[in-house]
Amino acid sequence: MNLPKTVTICEVGPRDGFQPEKSIIATTAKADIINRVAASGVPVIEIGAFVHPKAVPQMADTDEVARKVAKYPGAQYRALVSNRKGVERAIACGMNWVKLTHSASESHNLSNFNQPIASSVKGFEECLELAKTHGITASAAISVAFGCPFEGKIPLANLEVHIRRLTGYGIREISLSDTTGMGNPVQVYSIASHMVQTFPEVKWILHMHDTRGMALPNILAAMEAGISSFDASFAGLGGCPYAPGASGNIATEDLVHMLHEMGVNTGIDLDLAIENARLAKAIVGHETDSRILKAGKIADLILKKPCGQTKIG
């Protein structure tokens, strides 16, 4: 298989993982788990979202979280923003990386941002100008890139229009999100290969939800296509509150475990990642979709001969 030697994982649990939780999580708990994630060797952490608190109440304290987290060497922190106000808030609390986002379909964009795509993207100009003025890195994400729950599959030509608009603004890091887990390995390989070949100047990130159990094979297909950066969420928490059936992301510990078993380096301590997943599960207080939390690591299995069994041959 044509796999990269190293994969970069971004932990999105503090934002996408906690975002849909109905019980507000304490700011200190968010900051603590972010610090633990950084200490485990995760190189990129999405700590929250500078959005209107009425739209996403769980993210209302992102400013305070940003001020409380420790700055670990080698760890980068980013936050999602949707408008100029979000960038201003990021600047005020010392963030140096923001991520702009819009949807690949009009229906989801209206549901998620309460405006058409053209309006969302138009607002990017002043966001990018402000970020550049203050020396802040800006990346972008496209939601429902592999399928919209309202409109179905997104034509590749439509997706390419969005990407050309973003690269026209000078954005060189773009995340493609499978927001409701509608993608399949053949589709992911096809789209990923096309994007890698058509836009070689872009650093691609995939954000895969495990709604139908296809996130890991989809990530494997993307790796074969040349992509080596992926989002994941501790314990498999998350889901878009504006997309029906959008269950959690791929669990960070599940992804790290698979990659390490295949000899692909992540720089992440798997045992610490599992501890963080257990902590995240305790914080939210309910079951999650993490396979590793349920079954454990392959390396921990101890094969014993059943009692009374006689070896023959």
* Residue 79, in any domain of the structure: yes
* Residue 308, in any domain of the structure: no
280: domain CATH number is: 3.20.20.70
State the catalytic residue, choosing from 10, 127, 148, 240.
240
Of 1, 11, 3, whose CA–CA distance to 205 is shortest?
11
* Residue 269, in any domain of the structure: yes
10 given a catalytic annotation: no
Q: 6-34 as b/e, with b when 16 or more CB fall inside 10 Å?
A: ebbbbbbbbbbbbbbbeeebebebbbbbb
* Residue 59, in any domain of the structure: yes
Question: What was the pLDDT predicted at 207?
Answer: 97
* Residue 312, in any domain of the structure: no
Q: Residue 297 is which amino acid?
A: K
Question: What was the pLDDT predicted at 249?
Answer: 93
Question: What was the pLDDT predicted at 231?
Answer: 98
191 in Cβ contact with 176 (< 8 Å): yes
Tally of structural domains, the chain: 1
* Residue 307, in any domain of the structure: no
Of 101, 38, 102, whose CA–CA distance to 65 is shortest?
38
- Full domain range(s) for residue 244: 8-300
Question: What was the pLDDT predicted at 306?
Answer: 59
* Residue 311, in any domain of the structure: no
Tens place of pLDDT per residue across the chain (313 aa): 899 999 999 999 999 999 999 999 999 999 999 999 999 999 999 999 999 999 899 999 999 999 999 989 889 999 999 899 999 999 999 999 999 999 999 999 898 888 899 888 888 999 999 999 999 999 999 999 999 999 999 999 999 999 999 999 999 999 999 999 999 999 999 999 999 999 999 999 999 999 999 999 999 999 999 999 999 999 999 976 666 655 789 999 999 999 999 999 999 999 999 999 999 999 999 999 999 999 999 999 865 455 555 454 4
pTM of this prediction? 0.93
